[in-house]
Amino acid sequence: MRILTTGGTGFIGSHTTVELQNAGFDVVIADNLSNSNEQVLDRIEKITGKRPAFIKADLSCPKECKQVFDTYKDIEGVINFAAYKAVGESVEKPIMYYQNNLGIFLNLVENMKNNGVKYFVQSSSCTVYGEPDSLPIKETSPVKKATSPYGHTKQIVEEMLSFITASTDIKAIALRYFNPIGAHESALIGELPNGVPNNLLPFVTQTAAGIRKELKVFGNDYPTPDGTCIRDYIHVVDLAKAHVVAVKRLLENKNKENLEFFNIGTGKGFSVLEIINSFEKTTGVKLPWSFAPRREGDIIQIWADTKYAEEELGWKAQETLDTMTLSSWKWQQALDK
């Protein structure tokens, strides 16, 4: 049974490829290596004992996307990770974001339809909910107006899927991730952002490693217990396993609708200061940090209602915050070596 992971050499894609192979699937990765490198394939092989098939392809190009499906006639399902994902950059370059993220999606579903590939798992985001009216947030909560082109592309793909799954044989699951952090316990794969990291954990580990001078904590006057923003941080390996469960659900025809949505989080919210505390406690490294003004566009707090994923998918996050922060650090240390 072969699964195509687009963006499979990236952070979440590489961890999911590992879990798919561990579960007995054959995987072909299609990636243009714009934000990753081919060494990841060696590392996946080291972890799983099996090298995934790989095609270097820019899937936003119709010809290159078709080539993937022409080469691998045995693809049964697609998990789509290939997308640009920097919120700030998307505000500056909206056209580039729409062209890439929506172009990739449309090329994929067109080729799926032409080749009789029926199962699709989409990498979506809790960003579709915007600032929640009540917490924890359920899958049935309203999708609010997007605050960035990045978030908008996630919403548009979800909407397009609802029409596409209504009129084709394609069945889909959109996994709405909360904040993925951590790294594989082998420290062979992890998050490798280009340039200065935007996201919290890579900034924390790079600061602890001396690459950055100081972590700026954005805002200390939010209406939260310690004044800093709260997020639902999820271990990337837990998240990867959710994809395996989702793809099996589709392959086994256990889905209840042609398009389903699941929150993929832990159900627990942690503040930025709690992340710093966990990091310092588990690693023994003192982190230089100070408060800075609020970052524009940040939501105050969000965490998942995980009941639906638990009951329907039979999936639940297992890792603790401390294993997340420690594994992120071990990955950073391995990188520095």
Q: Give contact residues for ligand UD1 (rule: CB under 6 A).
A: 85, 87, 125, 127, 148, 151, 179, 198-200, 203, 215-218, 229, 231, 272, 295, 298-299
Q: How far is the CB of 48 from ligand UD1 (least distance, A)?
A: 26
Which entry of 84, 119, 150, 233 is annotated as an active-site residue? Answer: 150
- Compute the distance between CA of residue 327 and CA of residue 218 in angstroms, rounded to an integer: 24
Alpha helices in the chain (DSSP H): 11-22, 39-48, 62-71, 87-92, 94-97, 103-115, 149-167, 200-208, 236-251, 272-283, 307-308, 321-336
- Compute the distance between CA of residue 243 and CA of residue 57 in angstroms, rounded to an integer: 22
Count Cα atoms within 13 angstroms, Cβ side, for 254: 11
The verdict on whether 150 is a catalytic residue reads: yes
Closer residue to ligand UD1 in complex, CB, 41/104: 104
Q: How far is the CB of 198 from ligand UD1 (least distance, A)?
A: 5
Cβ burial 30-58 (10 Å sphere, 16+ → b, else e):
bbbeebbeeebbebbeebbeeebebbebb
Q: How far is the CB of 216 from ligand UD1 (least distance, A)?
A: 5
DSSP percent split of the chain into helix, strand, coil, nearest 5: 40, 20, 40
Amino acid at site 256? K
Q: How far is the CB of 185 from ligand UD1 (least distance, A)?
A: 22
Closer residue to ligand UD1 in complex, CB, 189/200: 200
Residues annotated as catalytic are 150
